[in-house]
Amino acid sequence: MTDAPIRTFDPVALFAHRFHGHGDTLGIVYHAHGPDWAELALPYDARLIGDQASGVIASGPILALMDMATSVGVWLKLDAFKAHATFDLRVDYLRPARPGRTVIGRGECYRITRSIAFVRGQAHDGDPADPLANVAGTFMATEGYW
Amino acid sequence: MSLPYSELLGLTEEPGESAPTLVMAFGTHVLGRPGFLHGGAIGGLLEMAAVAALQQVLAGEGAARIKPINLTVDYMRGGRDKPTRARGMVTRLGNRVANVEAIAWQDDPDRPIAAARMNYLIAR
């Protein structure tokens, strides 16, 4: 077994010591990560419902989930925490999330320049081959990524 | 505006001739990085404003259901510790789809903190 590379940015610690904010209010938690991607989980919660008749959650929490997952993906690719802000985000809502299911959002950073990070991602509710949302976007580093 | 997600965001509604203005108070429930609104909360507010605008236009039609197809959000300024307002504008209402734009602002509608374009499927 080879040694894993030593990494300085730890998303597990980030989510273990989170301050109370919108992510906590929605119930978003850490799920998994790799060298340039993060998966966050959004458990089903009646407070997120956007359509009373069906019990389907609103699209806003999925946007927030993907915003956060792609943001963490940038810090993982950088292997450092840098202050940045979402510059733009596009979300395609491929299908409604199934009521009762936890939504998993996977965000990946595939390119970083000094000022801009490019991200993409997908959300699913159990089967990654059956995504419910696809996203693409950019982040801007306020002081530059390097 | 009794949707659970609207209540989670803490939205209130100000009536308007073409579309209502939604107001989101600042608080830890919509906080991102310290001192600033979360991009997801701003995006959620823009979506709710777009849906409210579309519902007002469709009000005479009864049972039309609205399903989001996609959205693109541009974040222009950080959202600070003050109320945020958002209003949608239906740019085209077709038989099956609608194009809607929305802006969010804090002090001045001419200085938006974010803007979005959204496409909706209309199930009549």
Helix (H, G, I), strand (E, B) or coil at B59: helix
The predicted structure's pLDDT at residue B1: 46
* Interface residue B33 vs chain A (CB under 8 A): yes
**Is the Cβ–Cβ distance between B70 and B100 less than 8 Å?**
no
In a domain, A6, yes or no: no
In a domain, A84, yes or no: yes
In this structure, what CATH number is given to the domain that contains residue A52? Answer: 3.10.129.10
**Is the Cβ–Cβ distance between A67 and A73 less than 8 Å?**
no
- Note whether B34 contacts A19, CB cutoff 8 Å: yes
The ranges assigned to domains in chain B are: 4-123
**Is the Cβ–Cβ distance between A115 and A144 less than 8 Å?**
yes
pLDDT, tens digit only, all 146 positions of chain A: 555 666 789 999 888 876 679 999 999 999 999 999 999 999 999 999 999 999 999 999 999 999 999 999 999 999 999 999 999 999 999 999 999 999 999 999 999 999 999 999 999 999 999 999 999 999 999 999 99
Q: What is the pLDDT of residues B13-23, one digit of tens each?
A: 999 999 999 99
**Is the Cβ–Cβ distance between A108 and A70 less than 8 Å?**
yes
Cα separation, B101 vs B117, whole angstroms: 5
Strands A133-141 and B11-14: unpaired
In a domain, A4, yes or no: no
* Residues on chain A touching B73 (C-beta within 8 angstroms): 63, 86, 88-90
Q: Which has the closest alpha carbon to A39: A118, A131, A116? A: A131
* Residues on chain B touching A57 (C-beta within 8 angstroms): 5
The residue of chain B nearest to residue A48, with distances taken between CA atoms, is: B5
The predicted structure's pLDDT at residue A39: 98
User: Tokens for A56?
Assistant: 């389907």
Overall number of domains in chain A: 1
* Interface residue B96 vs chain A (CB under 8 A): no
Class of domain B4-123: alpha beta
ipTM: 0.96
**Is the Cβ–Cβ distance between B17 and A61 less than 8 Å?**
no
What is the separation of C-alpha A142 from the centre of its chain, rounded to a whole number of angstroms? 20
**Is the Cβ–Cβ distance between B83 and B103 less than 8 Å?**
no
In a domain, A68, yes or no: yes
Among B3, B28, B41, select the one facing A52 at the smallest CB separation: B3
Only one residue has tokens 């958002």, namely B86
- Domain that includes residue A88, residue range: 11-141
- Note whether B5 contacts A67, CB cutoff 8 Å: no
Q: What is the pLDDT of residues B46-98, one digit of tens each?
A: 999 999 999 999 998 877 889 999 999 999 999 999 999 999 999 999 999 99
In a domain, A31, yes or no: yes
- Note whether B39 contacts A59, CB cutoff 8 Å: no
Residue type at B34? P
* Interface residue B113 vs chain A (CB under 8 A): no
In a domain, A83, yes or no: yes
pLDDT band at B106 (very low <50, low <70, confident <90, very high): very high
* Residues on chain B touching A52 (C-beta within 8 angstroms): 3-4
